[in-house]
Amino acid sequence: MPFINDVVKSNQENLAKAKANSTPRLSRFLFKPENVIKNLSNQIIGQKQMIHAVGEVLQVIKADFGSESRPLSVMMFLGPTGVGKTETVKVLTESILGDADKLCRIDMNTLSQEHYAASITGAPPGYVGSKENTSLLKPEAIEGSFSRPGIVLFDEIEKASKNVERSLLSVLDDGRLDLTGGTKQINFRNAIIFMTSNIGASELSAYHKKFDTGWRSIFKWKPSKKMESEILKNALEKKFDPEFINRIDRIVCFDRLESSSVQDLVKLNVKRLNKRLRKHNATLQLSKSAEDFFKSHYDEQYGARDLERKIIAHLEPALAFALNANPEIETFTSKCRKNKICISPKL
């Protein structure tokens, strides 16, 4: 009769052996979802829910058991302006393909008129360009390779005409697009398709305004996240046909960037500036008052893009003056000490 200690020990040994023998399952895709998510978390501020959703989708793609007759995934990013929808796809492309320029990005703004469907599908027979099968789409970027997915972004999809929207149905459903010339087909079955849209942003802004005044503000009530995503999804349903919405695998609502995110956004921008300053052997440091300055000038309605513009408008000249050895400018001052440039607003 063995002692209980021996049984426990032998179980532990068996478990260790089993672990050593089990090699991780190999996927044809080289990217590591954990690394991609880490990059996203470092570069996209205040969008935890989105990062979680993208992480799940990447794990499913990596596991490689999806349908072979559809794109790898079709995601729709909804949310107000300047919250990181387009930037997220760029960071994803850089993390997965090593270069943000490998993205096939179609700005739907440029396809707002009915006859522009030809820019996607090529010109109809008999028209100029019909023989060349030319389209705005870049087949190599869309088709990717055995070990890397293609990444496609239909940016600001609400601006596309109905014809363009219809021409995308077969892409989203069947993963294929026949060019009008009839001899060529673009294959989207190895592609992750992203679409972004501002749709519902004005309704969302009206909803937020209700909390600025009246009894909601007296009781310090906050807008509800559930209500926010319902507003966005209702607007989506009003704008797009059900068959289009039905072909989207995942709809992700981006959050508004509240003023609590400003500090992180400022830090991120300073980090980027410092990267560019490396070749001058200089580093930038923001004083607390400079950080507060940007916090007080932040407007939630315009998001990070507006903040970025303000940072560039104020910091870059101050920095340039400091580098050019002339530290006094109108609104900001800079002090240089041992290659450290400290920038503060003028009192």
Ligand X SMILES: Nc1ncnc2c1ncn2[C@@H]1O[C@H](COP(=O)(O)OP(=O)(O)OP(=O)(O)O)[C@@H](O)[C@H]1O
**Residues making contact with ligand X (CB under 6 A):** 44-47, 81-87, 196, 198, 257, 265, 268, 303-305, 308
Binding at 111: pick from ligand X, Mg ion, none (beta carbon under 5-8 Å per type) = none
Chain centroid to CA 282: how far? 31
List 186's β-bridge partners, or say none: 177
Give least dist CB 320 to Mg ion, A.
Answer: 29
Task: Find which of Mg ion, ligand X, none residue 33 binds, CB within 5 to 8 Å per kind.
Answer: none
Tell which positions 67-96 bind Mg ion, by CB under 5 A. 85-86
Q: Which is nearer to ligand X, 85 or 314 (CB)?
A: 85
Residue 44 binding partner per list ligand X, Mg ion, none, with a CB distance cut-off of 5 to 8 Å that depends on partner kind: ligand X
Q: How far apart are CA 210 and CA 212, in angstroms?
A: 6
Q: Is 229 in the site for Mg ion (CB under 5 A)?
A: no
Q: Which does 305 bind (CB under 5 to 8 A by kind): Mg ion, ligand X, none?
A: ligand X
Alpha-carbon gap, residue 90 to 296, rounded angstroms: 29
Nearest alpha carbon to residue 47 among 6, 85, 97, 5: 85
Question: Which residue, 268 or 322, has its beta carbon nearer to ligand X?
Answer: 268
Q: Binds 198, which of ligand X, Mg ion, none (CB < 5 to 8 A, cut-off by type)?
A: ligand X
Spatial CA neighbour of 248 closest among 199, 200, 193: 193
Strand-by-strand arrangement of the 104-107 sheet = 104-107, 150-155, 191-197, 73-78, 250-253
- Shortest Å distance, C-beta 211 to Mg ion: 25
Instruction: Give the total of residues touching Mg ion (CB under 5 A).
Output: 2
Which single residue brings its beta carbon nearest to ligand X? 84
Among residues 317, 338, 339, 313, which one has the least CA distance to residue 328?
317
The tokens describing 282, both together, are 């200089």
Please give the residue ranges that form the binding site for Mg ion (CB under 5 A).
85-86
